[in-house]
Amino acid sequence: MSVANSAMESVSRVCQHIDTPHRILVTGAGGFIGRAVVAQLLRRGWKVRAMLRAAAVGLWPADQNLELVDADIRNRAALAKAVGGTDVVVHLAAAKSDEKWSEDVNVGGAQHLVDACRAAGCHRLINVSTQSVKIARKGTYGRTKSQADKIFDESGLAVTTLLPSIVYGEQMAGVFGTVAQMIRKLPVVPILGDGCWVSAPVYVGDVAEAICRSIELDHSIGKKYDIGGPDLMSFDELIDRVALHIGIKRRKFHIPFEIALLAARTLSALTANPPITVSNVLGSNQDTHIDINSARNDFAWEPIDFATGIRLTEVPSAWGAGRIGAPTDAELTDECKLLTRYLIDESPPDELIARYVAANRILFAGTPRRRDELAFVTRHPSALPFLDAAAGFFHPESPLRSSLLLMTAILETTPLYSDYFLGSQQTPVRLCGTLIWSGTCAAAKAALGIPILWIATRS
Amino acid sequence: MSAAAPEVIVVGSGASAVHAAYAIAERQIPVLMLDVGVRDRKYENLIPDQPFVQIRRSDPDQHRYFLGEQFEGVPLGRLGTGPQLTPPRRYIFENAESLSPIASRSFEALQSFAAGGLGGAWGGVAFPFLDRELVKAGLSPHEIGPHYEAIAQRIGVCGNQDDLDTVRGRLHSLLPPLELDHNAEKVFAAYEKKRDKLQRAGMCVGKSLMAVLTKPHGDRRAQAYHDMDFWSNAGESVYRPACTLRQLHEFPSFSYVDSCLVESFSEHNDCVRVQVRDLKTGVRSTIETHRLLLAAGALGTGKIVLRSFGQYNVPVPITCNPHYYVPCLHYRNLGAAHRDRCHSLAQLTAIYNPTGDGEHLAQAQLYSCRSLLLFRLLKESPLAYRHALQIMRGLYSSMVVWVIQFEAYQESANCCVLRRGPAGAPDRLEISYQTSDDTKRRVHQALKTFRHMMRELGCLPLRTVQPIDGSSVHYASLLPFSEEDRPLTTDPSGRLRGTRGVYVVDGAAFAYLPAKGLTLTLMANASRIAQHVAQKLIHSEPPN
């Protein structure tokens, strides 16, 4: 059977499944993009099998649609088991740092995956590749990913290939994390090359959305899409904008291309885990023409601009980035009930709980969330008034205060509770009494809350 | 796009652009408007045409527009750019950052690529400039006067003649004034009692002149007093440039192309070639015309001109009104119920005349803030949410905000520079802005007097908030009017120096910004220049 016929057959099989909920395997689910993808897939109500390394398994929250699988893409048998029973694979697993096993993971893994898909009758595959496959002078990463793309292209499966530019999204992960850490820690920021390399930084939530939409749209089969943000910028400009955002001014030091390449080669020879790789140097010195219009048109997808996206990276600073995994629906439901009772002494209806959960998913999409005070009040609800009062003075942007603001906003825009917010006529004497009483209570609780806040943030 | 070359091209669709195009189109001269033209498709049909309290009590979908479909109206972290930029208004600033990047550490510039431009978020306060202010801005009072009246009649301005006439400027074509809300009524009554004392201190208070209908006007309705003006404009009682844009479509000589970004122009013999990028396809093309009227907003116009002249890395001036917010507790209304029938726009105007001769005026507007919702106020309070809710609920109806504005001169430290973008990326404007010590001293003294006035009027100032420079969204002076023949200036007729058929019809040409909103003057000036251009075309005069 020719490749084209085989692909058409796969398309027809995929189309037969289009109306049924997908069961999706995500390889590399424990990575930066993988976590955001899994969150978005679950939000769509799809069943997800997240394939990740053993170390990360224990850190994921429970979700009835989520199944965790500890498997290595180099292990044929484990992979075949992971693919079994799924109808779509999102392939994110990759060795990105020119490791000695890059060939095995990127090329061998691709072949294993194709074989496993054929054996299991899973015909749809979203291949998340890289812009590095488009550069002329490739490092190990670009070369192996390029070979992997060829394997997928010729597999006869219904493949959509996405080629993301730089992906950012969390303060401590992706390019933002690397760049932000360099700016924070180093007096001068070293740039590999002349800094003129142009990329289109794209927000991780937008990458996850593009992946989800490519699954939904069968006319993406057989196509390759550049995935980038709407802003093209040089690496120098990227550094400047991140530095401006975090409020630190740093000078840049450009390491000439050939010297940077030599340094990368030397470091790779000396250490197994070098701080810079040959692929880093080559990838950040060769422009690729990034055209996101095909993705925009086919997916009806509009990525957010960098100015907006970079502000979203602040969210983890409030929500933290210490532990992996977004809160589950059950956790958010409990949280919503607790906050509503605290604010207005009522229990929220299901509709409001659903809105609170949805708002959390949208506002904090793809960002893991450290619990801090919020986790503490879930375990000790009686501490909430004191923690809220103390956090108002000492930690106003904390997760707890942000959640209370969100809950207040949702309650205020619900007709059922409008009387709590619209106010009513009162005599000045009664009003003064209310002000004095409420003010005194708030101040007293803030004082009592200080030691509790101290305990909560260290627990 | 019409096959024949249009006689005139107007760039943009904001307040200046639509009135410039109107002056051309009403004389049956072919005019083409090029615009990016972002529109609100999400919220326009979602908001009921009902009073605020009725909506709050009955509409189960209110969270969709009060909080936004993506909850973008919940001001978490630093995401909120301004309380008045409610979710239904955010489309006005959509794509601005990617289409026209601006870099600055000290200045927050807002640009719009929406149909109707920044005018879509205009507060509606209409100020005619005083003669001395017009002269400082580079305009002739004699020429601009008739255009003020013509624009006021076209858009509908309400208000009355009062104590402010000598310091605010006067319009004759006025509709009856808007009704005051329960706070403004008492504040104004207090002013009337203390008028002599306050006037001796240089302070006058009166009802704001507003571009709001108090009587029906064409297909627009009179103000319904629904207190929903920050969220919707049902019946279009508040004037928006989109109203004139709709009227323009009725002229056979007018045509409009959207999704189109004007990048630069060049002149060849008798024609102007305008380079545009189709934002749907990314294809660049050239359109020829006889006259080009630039009205892309001061920053947008400045950028187009600098790029067209290849003036990268060359600093040009920029001015922007400094402004402050002073939230106050109007203690005379403590415990009073909020009147349901009211509007959310400016209620009163106060003008401070420090020297008694009209120099260095400062101006303030009084707003009540119920319709911006309580949760935004709660976020600013350090108290526990539960108690803050009880306190603010009691104080809500007596909370008012004074928004104070000051004049802006060209200063050497305030400039912008166009930098070339890296390969494939758009050029960006870098803005340096620093208020001079002299201005700071004047502002400090005026703020002191304003706070004194507020206390006299029963308003207890709670704090003085100074937003980052640039957030007044009044930008000007990039290509200032000048009698001298200097490059990157505009001659008194509006023609850009160094060109024969290119005119600057927006705020980029204003050499000075008085402490007043400039929108009415922008419209009057655009109408003046376009009328001049139209007359030259009718009499077949060659370009200068």
Q: Are B466 and B324 in contact (CB under 8 A)?
A: yes
* CATH 3.40.50.12710 for the A3-313 domain, yes or no: no
- Is A385's CB within 8 Å of B386's CB? yes
CA-angle at A118, arms to A115 and A123, nearest 5°: 125
Residues whose CB falls within 8 Å of the CB of residue B314, separated by 6 or more in sequence, listed in order: B306, B417, B418, B488
- Residue A220 is classified by DSSP as G
* Among B residues 509-528, those touching chain A with beta carbons less than 8 Å apart: none
- Is B394's CB within 8 Å of A196's CB? no
What is the helix (H) or strand (E) element at residue A391, kind and residue range?
Answer: helix A384-394
Q: Which residue of B has its CA nearest to A289?
A: B424
- Is B383's CB within 8 Å of A389's CB? yes
- Is B389's CB within 8 Å of A230's CB? no
**Phi/psi of residue B187, nearest 5 degrees:** -65, -40
β-pair partners for A52: A70
What is the helix (H) or strand (E) element at residue B203, kind and residue range?
Answer: strand B203-207
User: What is the pLDDT at residue A319?
Assistant: 32
Q: Which residue of B has its CA nearest to A423?
A: B393
User: What is the pLDDT at residue A287?
Assistant: 82
A contacts of B338 (beta carbons < 8 Å): 422-423
* Among B residues 99-138, those touching chain A with beta carbons less than 8 Å apart: 101, 103, 105
The 10s digit of each residue's pLDDT in B459-474 is: 999 989 888 888 889 9
- B463 vs A: CB within 8 A: no
Residues whose CB falls within 8 Å of the CB of residue B215, separated by 6 or more in sequence, listed in order: B156, B175, B176, B222
Judged by phi (left if over 0) then psi (alpha if -120 to 50, else beta), residue B525 lies in alpha
**Phi/psi of residue A168, nearest 5 degrees:** -130, 165
CB atoms closer than 10 angstroms to residue A35: 29
pTM assigned to the model? 0.70
Output A116 or A327, whichever has higher pLDDT. Answer: A116
Q: Are A283 and A97 in contact (CB under 8 A)?
A: no
Coil, strand or helix: which one is B403? strand
Of A233, A409, A441, the CB nearest to B425: A233
* pLDDT over 70 at A17, yes or no: no
Which tokens hold the place of A448? 């009592």
- B539 vs A: CB within 8 A: no
A contacts of B70 (beta carbons < 8 Å): 362
Residue A291, min C-alpha distance to chain B (Å): 10
User: Helical H runs in A51-193?
Assistant: 54-57, 76-83, 102, 109-120, 140-153, 174-185
Written as one letter, the residue type at A315 is V
Residues whose CB falls within 8 Å of the CB of residue B100, separated by 6 or more in sequence, listed in order: B111, B113, B299, B300, B303, B426, B428, B429
CA–CA separation, B138 vs B161, rounded Å? 26
- B468 vs A: CB within 8 A: no
- B2 vs A: CB within 8 A: no
Coil, strand or helix: which one is B291? strand
- Is B62's CB within 8 Å of A413's CB? yes
The 10s digit of each residue's pLDDT in A260-288 is: 888 888 877 776 667 778 888 888 888 88
A contacts of B381 (beta carbons < 8 Å): 392
CA–CA separation, B373 vs B484, rounded Å? 51
User: What is the pLDDT at residue A18?
Assistant: 39
Burial B284-311 (b: 16+ CB within 10 A, else e): eeebebbbbbbbbbbbbbbbbbbbbbeb
- Residue A109 is classified by DSSP as H
Q: Which residue of A has its CA nearest to B64?
A: A413
- Is A388's CB within 8 Å of B384's CB? yes
Written as one letter, the residue type at B242 is A
CA distances, B433 to each of A361, B321, B412, B440 (Å)? 39, 12, 9, 13
What is the helix (H) or strand (E) element at residue B406, kind and residue range?
Answer: strand B399-406
Domain ranges of chain A: 3-313, 319-458
Q: Are A54 and A31 in contact (CB under 8 A)?
A: no
User: What is the pLDDT at residue A320?
Assistant: 33
Domain ranges of chain B: 8-538
User: What is the pLDDT at residue A300?
Assistant: 76
- Is A343's CB within 8 Å of B375's CB? no
Best of B42, B387, B468 to substitute, by most chain A Cβ atoms within 10 angstroms, is B387
User: What is the pLDDT at residue A5?
Assistant: 46
Output B424 or A322, whichever has higher pLDDT. Answer: B424
Q: Are A421 and B63 in contact (CB under 8 A)?
A: no
- Is B77's CB within 8 Å of A410's CB? no
* pLDDT over 80 at A56, yes or no: no
- B465 vs A: CB within 8 A: no
- Is B63's CB within 8 Å of A413's CB? yes
Confidence of residue A124 (pLDDT cuts 50, 70, 90): very high
Of A232, A244, A418, the CB nearest to B56: A418
User: What is the pLDDT at residue B55?
Assistant: 96
Half-sphere CA count of A296, side-chain side, radius 13 A: 14
* Among B residues 386-425, those touching chain A with beta carbons less than 8 Å apart: 386-391, 393-397, 421-425
User: What is the pLDDT at residue A10?
Assistant: 43
CA–CA separation, A392 vs B417, rounded Å? 42
B contacts of A237 (beta carbons < 8 Å): 422, 425
Q: Which CATH number fits domain B8-538: 1.10.510.10, 3.50.50.60, 3.40.30.10, 2.40.30.10?
A: 3.50.50.60
**Phi/psi of residue A334, nearest 5 degrees:** -60, -40
Q: For chains A and B, count residue pairs whose Cβ atoms are closer than 8 Å.
A: 187
Mean pLDDT for each 10-residue chunk of chain B (544 residues)?
A: 73 98 96 95 88 94 91 70 77 88 86 95 94 96 96 96 90 95 96 95 95 95 96 95 96 96 93 94 94 97 97 95 93 88 96 91 94 89 93 90 95 92 80 89 94 96 88 94 95 96 97 96 98 92 65
Complex-level ipTM: 0.91
- Is A318's CB within 8 Å of B76's CB? yes
Residue A361, min C-alpha distance to chain B (Å): 10
- Is B386's CB within 8 Å of A415's CB? no
Burial B473-487 (b: 16+ CB within 10 A, else e): bbbbbbbbbbeeeee
Q: Are B159 and B174 in contact (CB under 8 A)?
A: yes
Written as one letter, the residue type at B114 is A
Of B66, B98, B375, the CB nearest to A408: B375
CA–CA separation, A199 vs B140, rounded Å? 49
Of B76, B335, B390, the CB nearest to A428: B335
Output B511 or A172, whichever has higher pLDDT. Answer: B511
CA–CA separation, B72 vs B68, rounded Å? 5
A contacts of B387 (beta carbons < 8 Å): 389, 438-439, 441-442, 445
